[in-house]
Structure 1
């Protein structure tokens, strides 16, 4: 049985991760004005890999080959999510991409059921549906279906597999090696795409690049992905993906206060629905656990 206090702290840690990822949207958007997406991803994950490897030296005495294998698999899906989302932005509105990518909150429960035959509670479905409705409203309800939408759908599946597999593998291996390998795979694949699509690897070393890579490599990659993987030892993939829907909420708040972006009352309402969906899932899990404890 999962320790309830550990699950609570894991869920709270995931809230922090989601908010950190939300904060990175604005500096990344500014850096993209002078640098290609894959150039930024390459340097972000290269620095993250180096930092994670240095940290691992303190805790890892022997490299576990299973951890390397699991990190490789998860890294491929993580990169797939980044790459597909990037190309989707070339064909449709960013809000549409954000909404369809957010459908990961619906895909994860079904993947968990299909892959591991894990029963999904009703409150998880309710929370997922509310979060999806909230994402749709937050993204201003722009939706059609073309290449951009199709790529966004594939992106959502890639992220869903990453979350489900990370939650499964992290309980079976050494976490430092797995996460470092994950970063290395994304770094190498980003390098190949930077050469193929951006035509360069060296960045424009302006202030925006330094700030964006500095923040994303340390806080949004080394810290956030390590905490996400660690937290998934104590909570479920369904709750993980629900909590991570806070990312666009955090991005909207930062964009509003620091980037001069405008949030309509309708979008704020969408953000509130996302929060309600997360609370339904969170409170529901504790309610069910307490009922079990009273039997």
Structure 2
């Protein structure tokens, strides 16, 4: 096995831990936003993440340049816009439908990567994307899929998350990863504060209880600092399309965690959907070689 392949497999494994971290904290976020406005919660989450990231990136700040700031702000704008459209989508349609359409970024990534950067996508990774879409449908869908305003906003969200994955891979190889992530987090925190002050009924007058602090701290540390730092760094060694396939493991881990920790019920159809997503991640790792006579 070559060193580049070893780096790729290591990157894929660590990206899988990111999907698991997002899935495990999903239930926690749902509980938090029952009492805390969404944008206020995002502000506290990303503000704490920015502070932690500043401590981590402090010794690299001397490597900050205009390109790093522009790339970081770009990623921050895309990421926040994805969160915003997803949140507004949730106010118009079912969460299960939002979860499915958001997951469609797995099929958006290869097309966008090709049209924007002419990136080649291996056939097995494209097939894995299709399998993952079917698995996502079976795992998450519990309503009729129509094309209303909620579905349209969530479709925009899916495209934005796909763009975030693609541009993260392109930017991470050009600038210091730690500073890039710091600027991205700061951008999201500032935008979340602005939106919260404009749209939420309250931003700072919140119930600062155990559930609030638990959700903010856990999501800031594991679902934000760890997750996006690993994603940004490891996408240097793997493709955007494969990253998107691996990230479809997020709803799988969320479903499994919800089953054991939240007492949620998983139907046989949902379990089959989760198995298909697992198959998709394995298919994405396959490599076929031509056999010469």
Return the TM-score normalized by structure 2.
0.95
Query: What is the rounded CA distance, in whole Å, between the counterparts of 2:278 and 2:45 in structure 1?
Result: 30
Partner of 1:221: 224
Does residue 198 (structure 1) correspond to residue 200 (structure 2)? The answer is: yes
Query: What is the rounded CA distance, in whole Å, between the counterparts of 1:30 and 1:117 in structure 2?
Result: 42
Query: What is the rounded CA distance, in whole Å, between the counterparts of 1:252 and 1:274 in structure 2?
Result: 12
Partner of 2:27: 26
Moved more, 201-210 or 131-140: 201-210
1:228-287 CA-partner distances (Å, limit 9, x unpaired): 001100000000000000000010011111111111111010000011111111123xx4
Query: What is the rounded CA distance, in whole Å, between the counterparts of 2:56 and 2:197 in structure 1?
Result: 29
Structure 1 segment 130-209 matched on structure 2, within 5 A: 130-140=131-141, 142=143, 143-202=145-204, 203-209=206-212
Moved more, 196-205 or 179-188: 196-205
Partner of 2:111: 110
Contact 1:107 1:157 in 2 (8 A): yes
1:86-123 CA-partner distances (Å, limit 9, x unpaired): 11111111000000010000000001100111122211
Query: What is the rounded CA distance, in whole Å, between the counterparts of 2:186 and 2:202 in structure 1?
Result: 19
Moved more, 198-207 or 29-38: 198-207
1:168-203 CA-partner distances (Å, limit 9, x unpaired): 011111111110000011101100111111132213
Query: What is the rounded CA distance, in whole Å, between the counterparts of 1:188 and 1:253 in structure 2?
Result: 33
RMSD: 1.6
Query: What is the rounded CA distance, in whole Å, between the counterparts of 1:244 and 1:90 in structure 2?
Result: 24
Query: What is the rounded CA distance, in whole Å, between the counterparts of 2:199 and 2:61 in structure 1?
Result: 36
User: Aligned with 2:220: secondary structure?
Assistant: helix
Does residue 126 (structure 1) correspond to residue 127 (structure 2)? The answer is: yes
Contact 1:64 1:177 in 2 (8 A): no
1:109–1:2 Cα change, 3 Å: farther
Q: Which runs of 4+ in 1 moved over 6 A?
A: none
Partner of 1:210: 213
Contact 1:64 1:174 in 2 (8 A): no
How far apart are residue 210 of structure 1 and its match?
A: 0.7
1:136-163 CA-partner distances (Å, limit 9, x unpaired): 0001353122011001100001101111
Does residue 265 (structure 1) correspond to residue 262 (structure 2)? The answer is: no
Aligned length in residues = 290
Query: What is the rounded CA distance, in whole Å, between the counterparts of 2:3 and 2:106 in structure 1?
Result: 22
Does residue 251 (structure 1) correspond to residue 236 (structure 2)? The answer is: no
Query: What is the rounded CA distance, in whole Å, between the counterparts of 2:65 and 2:90 in structure 1?
Result: 38
Contact 2:52 2:225 in 1 (8 A): yes
Partner of 1:74: 75
How far apart are residue 2 of structure 1 and its match?
A: 7.6
Query: What is the rounded CA distance, in whole Å, between the counterparts of 2:223 and 2:121 in structure 1?
Result: 30
Query: What is the rounded CA distance, in whole Å, between the counterparts of 2:93 and 2:63 in structure 1?
Result: 46
Unpaired runs of 5+ residues, structure 1, are none
Query: What is the rounded CA distance, in whole Å, between the counterparts of 1:147 and 1:61 in structure 2?
Result: 45
User: Aligned with 1:267: secondary structure?
Assistant: helix
Contact 1:74 1:162 in 2 (8 A): yes
Contact 1:109 1:238 in 2 (8 A): yes
